[in-house]
Amino acid sequence: MPAVYASAPGKIILFGEHAVVYGRPAIAAPVTQVQAKAYVLANPSAAPGHVEIDAPAIALHARLDELDEQHPIAYAIRLSQQKLAVDRLPAFKLRISSTIPIAAGLGSGAAISAAVARVVSGFLGRPLPDTEVNDIAFRVDQIYHGTPSGIDNTVITYARPIYFIRGMPVEFLTVYRPLTIVIANSGILSPTGVVVGDVRQRYQADPSAYEPLFDQIAMIAAHAREDIVHGDPENLGALMNQNHHLLQRLNVSCAEVDCLVEEALANGALGAKLCGAGRGGNMIALVDDNAAESVAMALQSAGAVGTIITRIS
Ligand code: PMV
C-alpha cells in the first residue's frame, strides 16, 4: 500500500491576538511557505495496534502506546480514531516533519495536529472533513494553550484568510488587493500558554484596565477587515502600528521584537507589529512588493534568525 500524505500550513495573525481570547475579532492568514507534513505507511508485519511515530523535528521516536494520553500527537491520533469509531488501529508508521518554527507564533502545534488528523483518517479510508479536523486541532491546542480562542486551528485547517470571533461562524475574507508581508523570527522561544496565562492573571486582577485595550484592538481589527476587503492597504499599515502599541500596553512585546518592528519601519515598511502570543517569536511587516527583499535583509541584519516573504491574496 502506498504511503498516505497530508499537510497543513503555518499562519500569521494580522490583527487582534490576545483580545480574540476575550471575544474580540481578529484577522489571520495562512503562510504556505512553511508546512507541517505527515506520512503514514502500513506496517503489515507488525501486530494490529502497533503504531510507530517518528517526528525528528521534536526528537520524538516512540510507539503510540508509550506516549501519555495527553501527548499532543497521541491525542490527535486518538481523537481521529474516536471520531471514526475505530476500535483498534491497524499497524502503521507515522512520520511527521515540519518547517514551521516551534513556539514562535506561526501555529506549528495546530498545523501538526491538522496534518496528523488528516493523514490518519485518510489512512483509515475515511478522510475527516475540515470541521472535524478543526475540532481535533482545537482540542489539542487546549493542551498547549489552556484557553485557545480557536483562531490558530481555524485558519490553519481552512488555509484561507479569516475574520474570526470566538464562538461565531468563521468569515472567510476575500482580499481585494494582495498584501505582501515580511515575517521575521526574533529567535526567542515563547510558549503561547505562558503568555496567554500571564495576560489572564493580570486581566483577572484588574479587568477594567484591560477591557478598554481589548476594545481598541477590536476596533482596529474591524477597520482592518474593511480595508482588506474593500481595498485600502495604505491604511492597514497605520492600523498595524496602532495594534502593536496596544500589544505593548498589554505587556506582551519585548525589546527584541520592538527592535525588529522599528527596523522594519525605518526601512520603509508600511506598518509592523508582533505576531501571535508575543514576548519573542515572530513579527510581521506590511510592505510594498518592491520593498519586501530590502526589508527582509534589514531585519536579518538587525538580528532576525529567519525571514519569510508571503503574499496574502
Ligand atoms: O499561537 P500564537 O502564538 O500565534 O498565539 C495565538 C493567538 C493568541 O491570541 C495569543 C491566543 C489565542 O488562543 O487566540
Query: Which residue's alpha carbon is at the smallest distance from atom 6 of ligand 1?
Result: 276
Q: How much is the pTM?
A: 0.96
Q: Which pLDDT belongs to residue 101?
A: 87
Residue 229: exposed, middle, or buried by beta-carbon count in 10 A (0-12, 13-18, 19+)?
Answer: middle
| Nearest by Cα to 312 from 257, 259, 275 | 275
Mean pLDDT by 10 residues, the chain (313 residues): 89 98 98 96 93 92 94 97 96 96 88 98 97 98 88 98 97 94 95 92 97 98 96 88 98 97 97 96 96 98 96 94
Helix 151-158 and helix 108-123: axis angle, to 10°? 50
Q: Which pLDDT belongs to residue 306?
A: 95
Query: Which residue's alpha carbon is at the smallest distance from atom 14 of ligand 1?
Result: 149
Mutate to test the pocket of ligand 1, among 145, 252, 279 (most ligand atoms within 8 A of CB): 145
pLDDT tens track for 291-309: 999 999 999 999 999 999 9
Q: Which pLDDT belongs to residue 2?
A: 66
Q: Which pLDDT belongs to residue 196?
A: 94
What's the 267 CA to ligand 1 centre distance in angstroms?
A: 28
Q: Are strands 171-172 and 162-164 parallel, antiparallel or unpaired?
A: antiparallel
For the CA of 107, the nearest atom of ligand 1: 1
Q: Which pLDDT belongs to residue 143?
A: 87
* Cα 305–Cα 308–Cα 313 angle in degrees, nearest 5: 160
Mutate to test the pocket of ligand 1, among 113, 194, 196, 214 (most ligand atoms within 8 A of CB): 196
Q: Which pLDDT belongs to residue 1?
A: 61
Catalytic residues: 152
